[in-house]
Amino acid sequence: MQKQAGLSAGFVQCCADTALWMWRSYWQLHREWQRTVRQAQRAGDERWLCKLMKREPQPPFSNGLRHKIPIWFDDRIGSLEHSEIKLSPRVIRISTLKRGERITVLLNPAKYHLDLLECGEIKSFQIVKRGKKFYVHVKVEREVRDQPVRAVRGVDLGVKRSAATVLLRSDKPLSRGDFSVIRDGEKTHRLNELNEKVAKLQQMKKWGALKRMRNKRRRVAEYYDRLTAKRIADISSECIVAIGHPKGIKYENYRDNGKRKLRRLMTRWAYGRIIRYTIEECAEQGIKVAAPDERWTSITCHRCGSRNTERLTQSVVHCYDCGLTYNADFNGAINIGSSILAGPRSRWAEVDPAPTSDESLEKRDEAGSPRLHAWEWSHELCPDFIDADDEHGA
Ligand SMILES: [Zn+2]
């Protein structure tokens, strides 16, 4: 390769590393996809399968994808350095094919990016062309000490509320303070405003302005999702976060079940992004996140494990087997949290079904507020972690 391309050994090695990185991420995506397909096959779910088949991850350079992949420069062939130039506090320097000669490229990073660069060790960078501009993506690695785990924070991403969370501890029954809700009323309000503007621009056929407004809407949604993720991380010190990944939920609502309004909410609801942001925000603080793939968390009764339940309203779930009436979001959060606590067989057995402590703790002021009851388990934590590395593009 060195001979054919006339490149130095360092360049060839960096190219090989970049190619490997690309293939590895493809293999990983593909493995995840296969797992979901098997799940759909087990469920005998034709429509889900059909959708999945269209989403098979493609290997690099297939399907007419002929874009060049920018290589990652590391210390073998390039460096990111401080500079004395006022307008450009940072520069990148790249080796050329001539010995001892390097190209210097001036950068103009924002304060935000400079701060990110300072918070860890710079591993490598990539030069990316988007439109007519060149960008530098930087990998910064920072070691974060893992926080000790003393509890599980179960998080259920809801449609109307941004997230319902519950703190599960092995040595304490649930109490009122363990429940919290992260609301996103402001997000909904802002997005509705922007949606109206988008609709107006569509009517007036102002395509340029429409595109800008759509971008703005995306950024606003991302901003609020980031806030939600930060809040989850803030309340989860010394926890494992188990966040619901309701893969089935969008799909289940395709059926014409008369829930038109709910479906409309659903399409705007990017739970995947909130989960990704949560993993990132938690990783920065050394908090582990698991996203158990639980299709039934929302309809399973957390007290007896029965799926013989019904949603009385969007926010209240009732169990026909044990008679529990419970806030649906918190019920989901408890199921999600407990799913990483113990094996499937013992999962429900540890819940104290006796209503005795129920009565004393219970304070129900409205339908749908959490009904509290004793909660015990004696199992070790056996979480299925998601690997969240500490790399951040700047
Ligand atoms: Zn029940």
Q: What are phi and psi of 352, to 5 degrees?
A: -70, 110
111: Cβ–Cβ under 8 A, 6 or more apart, which residues?
A: none
Least confident segment among 37-51, 127-141, 330-344, 377-391: 377-391
128 or 268: which leads in pLDDT: 128
Mean pLDDT for 5-21 is: 88
Which pTM does this prediction carry? Answer: 0.65
Confidence of residue 365 (pLDDT cuts 50, 70, 90): very low
Mean pLDDT for 124-129 is: 89
- Residue 394 has a pLDDT of 31
Ligand 1 centre and the CA of 322: distance in Å? 4
Ligand 1 centre and the CA of 169: distance in Å? 21
Dihedral sign, Cα of residue 40, residue 163, residue 292, residue 387 = positive
Q: Residue 103 above 60 pLDDT? A: yes
Mean pLDDT for 174-185 is: 84
What is the DSSP track for 65-102?
--PPPPPEE-TTTEEEEE-S-TT-SEEEEEE-SSTT-E
Instruction: Supply the Cα-derived Rg of the chain in whole angstroms.
Output: 25
Q: Which residue shows structure tokens 């990148």? A: 92
Ligand 1 centre and the CA of 302: distance in Å? 7
Ligand 1 centre and the CA of 330: distance in Å? 14
Q: Write out pLDDT tens, residues 214-260.
A: 889 888 888 888 999 999 999 999 999 998 865 545 444 444 455 55
Ligand 1 centre and the CA of 96: distance in Å? 69
Distance of CA 350 to the CA centre of its chain: 30
Extended strands (E) in the chain = 72-73, 78-82, 90-95, 102-107, 121-130, 133-141, 151-156, 163-168, 179-182, 239-243, 288-290, 309-313, 316-319, 325-327, 391-393
Longest dimension (CA), the chain: 81
Ion ligand 1: protein residues whose beta carbon lies under 5 Å = 301, 303-304, 306, 319, 321-322, 324
Ligand 1 centre and the CA of 176: distance in Å? 20
- Residue 366 has a pLDDT of 33
- Per the prediction, the chain carries an average pLDDT of 77
Confidence of residue 392 (pLDDT cuts 50, 70, 90): very low
Helix 9-43, helix 46-53: angle, nearest 10: 160
Ligand 1 centre and the CA of 12: distance in Å? 61
Share of the chain above pLDDT 90, in %: 17
Do 167 and 152 form a contact (C-beta atoms < 8 A)? Answer: yes
